[in-house]
Amino acid sequence: MTSSEKKAVVLLSGGVDSSTTLAIARAEGYQCYALSFDYAQRHRLELEAAKRVAEALKVKRHLIVRFDLSEIGGSALTEKTIDVPKDKAEEKGIPVTYVPARNTIFLSFALSWAEVLGAGDIFIGANAVDYSGYPDCRPEYLRAFEDMANLATKVAVEGKLRFRIRAPLLYMTKAEIIKRGTSLGLDYSLTWSCYDPTPEGRPCGHCDSCLFRLKGFEEAGLKDPLLSL
């Protein structure tokens, strides 16, 4: 198998991090299979962004898996009764935008698809710097998922494939991520970050995700094509 034939499954939400991760996987020569989720999130606009990014970055296939996490609840992103915090409202510990076991669910579907495709590498835009509050963005979690994945699957048990969870952004700041994506030619006007869009479908500019994005572009010395201070 030549380097240009390596396959990877890339989790793609359509935000800055996952879109940059996809650009990095492409630059490493992977044939990319993008995987997105419609899980009844209040910011479903990100799925339109995911489609735009997947097309622009010429993925081999873009699969959107649908399920309803609002039935399980427990997060401001899936329960309408929990407000998305604005302008860094006082919040201790892990933020209410944490969705219980979300990355575990996402990575599990990615693992299933990767096994069928024969793709050893699963890319995720997890970041332990800006989002250190999310337990399922930490390196020790990702390592534990990888260990489990290699015991869970037929191809791994039969020795045909070894899975690697790749998180190339893990130790990068948002500014470094944006600079890296820009250097790879990624057009960030295609992406979407806001957790709580306005009824007109514009970014709120005040949720954590908007604030991290604004700060990232500012520190990178670049202009965000979507948002501005």
| Residues engaged in binding a second copy (CB under 8 A) | 63, 65-69, 71-74, 93-94, 98-105, 107-109, 111-113, 115-116, 135-136, 138, 140-141, 144-145, 147-149, 151-154, 156-158
In the bound state with a second copy, the residue whose beta carbon lies nearer, of 38 and 187, is: 38
Instruction: Name 122's bridge partners.
Output: 9, 165
Residue 127 Cβ, how far from a second copy at the closest point, in Å? Answer: 16
Residue 152 Cβ, how far from a second copy at the closest point, in Å? Answer: 5
How far apart CA 224 and CA 193 sit, in angstroms, is 11
- Phi first, then psi: what are they for 124, rounded to 5°? -135, 140
Residue 100 Cβ, how far from a second copy at the closest point, in Å? Answer: 4
Q: With contact defined as beta carbons under 8 Å apart, do 190 and 146 qualify?
A: no
Residue 215 Cβ, how far from a second copy at the closest point, in Å? Answer: 24
Report CA torsion sign: 11, 12, 18, 23.
positive
In the bound state with a second copy, the residue whose beta carbon lies nearer, of 85 and 181, is: 85
CB count in 10 Å sphere of residue 1: 7
Question: Which residue from 191, 202, 200, 197 is spatially nearest to 216, judged by alpha carbons?
Answer: 191
Residue 158 Cβ, how far from a second copy at the closest point, in Å? Answer: 7
In the bound state with a second copy, the residue whose beta carbon lies nearer, of 90 and 200, is: 90
CB count in 10 Å sphere of residue 122: 27
Both tokens assigned to 53: 């990014």
In the bound state with a second copy, the residue whose beta carbon lies nearer, of 27 and 155, is: 155
Sheet holding 31-38, edge to edge: 61-66, 31-38, 7-11, 121-123, 164-166
Tell me the Ramachandran region of residue 179: left when phi exceeds 0, alpha when psi lies from -120 to 50, beta otherwise: alpha
In the bound state with a second copy, the residue whose beta carbon lies nearer, of 45 and 155, is: 155
In the bound state with a second copy, the residue whose beta carbon lies nearer, of 159 and 221, is: 159
Residue 147 Cβ, how far from a second copy at the closest point, in Å? Answer: 5
